[in-house]
Structure 1
């Protein structure tokens, strides 16, 4: 430095010389006076005036240790400027030390400035360069709000649960209650503070933030205006026979086009067995088989189907099976089976059973599942069993809820488009994240009394400059883009994230049931249930990349289903009474081209396949606990859950997939031969076996009864002769019959749906 500071220099000198701290106020006044004097008289006595710093330095040297007055310092300073100052060696050394420390201070300050500039440069890079938060491109005509920043671009602690974007005093009305009435003061305070990182013990959930606890979680009032109006479908003008004929003609045309011939018709016993399996989830009893065989109606198949779908004695059993079937579709077979699962499977199945028992229109059921709010805990004031569909999938940024909703209700697999545009399906990232935006008002809370989770609707506003709840996502090239709620067909809704202005899930539910894909996906899934193969494989991956085997039939059935008022029982009746459903499962030379494994499903025969886990359980339990003629056979849901929990488990991946031990391997064989359920069915006190052993029937009649009970057919002459020889060689008929019964239930024929 080329100049000396009139304040700092003397201070350093006196500090280094261990002198008393100078009076800086006096020196500032002195320096000011000297500057004013210099302006008025540039030269005194023909000499240039000494620099101000030298004057102050001289004054410092001549000042006593005691604090001098301002006037005395000023006088001595002026006097010092009249004569050259003779600096002592000690003063020079002090001055050198002063300059050395000044240089060190300057260097330190420079380093600090460099660090600060580096931090500013890094912050600017993170904030403004591609992929770091501020969108450089917005989709559509809407632009991101000023100053908007997507906190979800970074590894997300869990903004959905912690909900730091919502003011703590925000009033969210649900049945007249606000969050302020429900949330504890500690929880309210935590909404404005950084997340504590608590992770509640909820199976399968990845909650980085603390879930608020509430005393009573009220079900939200859907008070927001509706922007998507319900679609008005025409009434179905065709009767059931016309629709069934349409199915038969479409399938027959495909046979003709592919030059194949159908297999012969199934026998009465085969048709009876598969129909009970598909509609009630179990094989028929001997009494039911004989009743069907003796029926003299011109069209006994129609009578049987109407009996199962319409008779009061089957209503609860029908509802129980289909509730389990659809619970598998919604949450998987393993969903709700473990103690730490947030899903109450019994409550979900009970809710679905009521819907199927009343034959609730399927579109209304789906709307309830998508828009549900409340707690999953039975007995709670705000208990809503429909919340069990989404409760395990809306944590974090609801990506799993987005993918599951699209695949289940629209037959579209969008999950791959989360990270990149799909190369074959045509789905892109913007479609995925635009669908994801519909779920961003959905939050989780925990009921204090039960500890169960609940679903709430909360405002989703990214910043105070705008009400738009935009979602940001990063493309593979690092560019960050913004998405607003937009359905897969391009239909948009207002962008506001405030629940009182736009209820996004309500709009999404209406968009789904209005869509042409909704009835099409439902028909495809139901067709797959009855035939083992859908019009597309898999059934939840429809689109141009995966064309349907019978596109016109699929489209027509979808329209008929919608026009019927989304009547599930009526759809089942159409499929079960069609000609391809009544064909034998035996393949003939003329339909070898019908190969669903090769993607060529022509339905020229009934495709034999292994029973589903629920069908196997219901059948074995019925054989063990058959209550007798004319009584309903209701499978125990608790026992079913226990058994299914042993054979199914979650994989723990991003797609919520599962694995099952019922895969035809060694584990399945051991389970069938030695499992507890098989022991119940083959025990000497089991219902069917006990009644046969105690009856007055002849040995051959007893064997015939066991064949009908297990395989829904009578034994062949060869089988009957072989078994008669076994009975003659055994000293105990009861023990021999028990062995025969065990062999029948462990045969491949028993476990097949054929």
Structure 2
């Protein structure tokens, strides 16, 4: 597998320095005028190759010599011409550019050195993560305690904190394999399937879309997701279910909702498919080539739309479905300059799908393997929609969606890379490519060999999600403590995965954990979850910074007092007479651990078993603490 380090984005190497200091400077200050939208002076700064070729004058970069590199010269305080226009880069950014150009060396294409494909996943994960630590001289954190691991793995695998009996059972177990056994067990539970269904409901439809369509009945869709994860349906089959939207069994019927809920908005279908199944944001290439990722071109956007622009929502006796015509669909697009071009059924790999029999200008029954009814061919009046009941779902002999589904899931490394990266982010709090929906050359992988190896292994093992999740959870890297090693000095950057990252709980996980902490048997509460979804961080957020709104919402005493007072935990604690036992049980119920000696001392000075309000305030304090709201 080749990595073309001399032609892809300026962040061609994923070292901490380049990714954190050079890439943002180029993207934020240069590519608006020298990227996919504009190329003033004929200069494109999206790739090293283009920067070396230069524009109308000469090369923008001279590797190893910043003083004679125009890119460095034009950002000086007294330069003429001066870039960026009407702005002066900070001194530290100029110095970073100088350091980068000084160290820049152009390397020829090379093969990624991937480990033996027969090695166990955990071995490869730990081997490649450790290699990066050694290269960067990073000391990893120690292994997490059993209590920390237990809480983390419950939150990540079933979306809630453990209950006290589950805590006591695990901590008392002396089996050295107990962590692996617990991971294997949790990934077979109904709660694991429910948790993943909630996660991917948001991934596929996103919160904003779900709020906009909150009145819509999505039960068949959620039932499909639960069934897919409960039965460990192969991910390539899930991909086909979603984009083909042609169910063959009762269990598959809900998958049609993914496309049906876009209500014949073919552009939205294309962008949603690209983002969720390929990890690429393609909407930036609707009017021009991608501004910062040159491999994503305008023709890719319109090619992707073309795969879906014959689709239309219909009603059938089995429920809402997505039909497909055998002809039609606009097949030209224009750029910002007004130049038109012919759209093709083209993939990101630049593979072009040839339409069997050529493009059809008119519909006829001969073009279908499963024939549509007569009204299918009736010319519709302006504004009229074909939403009458159809006795069956028409199937064209050449189906663009079927051709796309086949290409999507067959020997397509982007398809495997996207789900591997998303699951890694779900478990670690950050993807190997970050953000997870920007898997392009402008956002290189922190560990390209690891991502490539995991994607290949995933496809070689029949797209087995459960196997992948289990092996990630069993890795040494996943089970590290969140506190940096004492010898680490400054905490290592997040993308080295040298410690467990502090992940904020999603609205779903927070709600389920809150109800478990308060003693409810059923952890689910849709109304409560919808409240928290308005202010808690998004799943797979680019960055997390707590807002004043979140703090105010979570520390709103009347709101939380009502929630706490309705939970069985409070009445149980208020009947306890031993203050030490009360504090221990509260800590275990909410934080899944025993209190530290200093915490016990301070808690005992506050809690009075004879004062019910002090107990309620104590519960409130732990529930609104950062420790409860984060995984570590």
Q: CA deviation at 1:439?
A: 0.3
Q: 1:621 to 1:702 in 2, by over 3 A?
A: same
Q: 1:400 to 1:544 in 2, by over 3 A?
A: same
| Residue 320 (1) aligns with residue 194 (2) | yes
| Residue 723 (1) aligns with residue 603 (2) | yes
Give the match for residue 643 of structure 1: 531
Using the alignment, how far apart are the partners of 1:658 and 1:273 within structure 2? 20
Counterpart of 1:330 (choices 204, 210, 216) is 204
* Alpha carbons 2:421, 2:451 under 8 Å: kept: yes
Classify the secondary structure of the residue corresponding to 1:481.
strand
* Alpha carbons 1:437, 1:483 under 8 Å: kept: yes
Q: 1:297 to 1:254 in 2, by over 3 A?
A: same
Give the match for residue 399 of structure 2: 503
Counterpart of 2:461 (choices 552, 560, 564) is 564
* Alpha carbons 2:224, 2:252 under 8 Å: kept: no
Classify the secondary structure of the residue corresponding to 2:148.
helix
Counterpart of 1:533 (choices 415, 430, 442) is 430
Q: CA deviation at 1:300?
A: 2.2
Q: 1:474 to 1:675 in 2, by over 3 A?
A: farther
| Residue 359 (1) aligns with residue 359 (2) | no
Structure 2: 5+ residue runs without aligned partners? 1-115, 361-366, 368-394
* Alpha carbons 2:508, 2:529 under 8 Å: kept: no
Counterpart of 2:150 (choices 266, 272, 276) is 272
* Alpha carbons 2:511, 2:529 under 8 Å: kept: no
Q: 1:565 to 1:680 in 2, by over 3 A?
A: farther
Give the match for residue 707 of structure 1: 587
Give the match for residue 407 of structure 1: 275
Q: 1:577 to 1:659 in 2, by over 3 A?
A: closer
Counting only pairs closer than 5 Å after superposition, residues 253-652 of structure 1 correspond to structure 2 as 253-310=131-188, 315-338=189-212, 343-373=216-246, 384-393=253-262, 395-396=264-265, 398-426=266-294, 427-445=296-314, 454-461=321-328, 471-495=331-355, 496-497=359-360, 500-514=396-410, 515-588=412-485, 589-590=487-488, 592=490, 594-596=492-494, 601-627=495-521, 633=522, 635-636=524-525, 638-639=526-527, 642-643=530-531, 646-647=534-535
* Alpha carbons 2:309, 2:330 under 8 Å: kept: no
* Alpha carbons 1:394, 1:439 under 8 Å: kept: no
Give the match for residue 16 of structure 2: none
Q: CA deviation at 1:388?
A: 1.9
Larger Rg: 1
Superposed CA RMSD in Å reads 3.2
Using the alignment, how far apart are the partners of 1:247 and 1:265 within structure 2? 16
Post-superposition CA distance 1:710-730 (Å, at most 9, x none):
112211212212222223xx4
Post-superposition CA distance 1:604-623 (Å, at most 9, x none):
00011211111111111222
Q: 1:289 to 1:518 in 2, by over 3 A?
A: same
Give the match for residue 10 of structure 2: none
Q: 1:648 to 1:350 in 2, by over 3 A?
A: farther
Classify the secondary structure of the residue corresponding to 2:210.
coil
* Alpha carbons 1:334, 1:649 under 8 Å: kept: no
Q: 1:715 to 1:752 in 2, by over 3 A?
A: same
Q: CA deviation at 1:442?
A: 0.5
Q: CA deviation at 1:391?
A: 2.4
Give the match for residue 626 of structure 2: 748
Post-superposition CA distance 1:173-200 (Å, at most 9, x none):
xxxxxxxxxxxxxxxxxxxxxxxxxxxx
TM-score by length of 1: 0.59
Q: 1:659 to 1:288 in 2, by over 3 A?
A: closer
Counting only pairs closer than 5 Å after superposition, residues 175-254 of structure 1 correspond to structure 2 as 238=118, 242-254=120-132
Aligned residues: 477
* Alpha carbons 1:443, 1:457 under 8 Å: kept: yes
Give the match for residue 548 of structure 2: 666
Q: CA deviation at 1:491?
A: 2.3
Using the alignment, how far apart are the partners of 1:480 and 1:248 within structure 2? 50
Using the alignment, how far apart are the partners of 2:489 and 2:405 within structure 1? 43
* Alpha carbons 1:626, 1:687 under 8 Å: kept: yes
Structure 1: 5+ residue runs without aligned partners? 1-235, 375-380, 462-468, 628-632, 651-656
Post-superposition CA distance 1:441-472 (Å, at most 9, x none):
1012468x99x9642212332xxxxxxx5611
Q: 1:675 to 1:446 in 2, by over 3 A?
A: farther
Give the match for residue 179 of structure 1: none
Post-superposition CA distance 1:152-177 (Å, at most 9, x none):
xxxxxxxxxxxxxxxxxxxxxxxxxx
Q: 1:293 to 1:274 in 2, by over 3 A?
A: same
* Alpha carbons 1:524, 1:534 under 8 Å: kept: yes
Q: CA deviation at 1:372?
A: 1.0
TM-score by length of 2: 0.70
Post-superposition CA distance 1:258-285 (Å, at most 9, x none):
1111011111111111100000111111
Classify the secondary structure of the residue corresponding to 2:174.
coil
Classify the secondary structure of the residue corresponding to 2:207.
coil
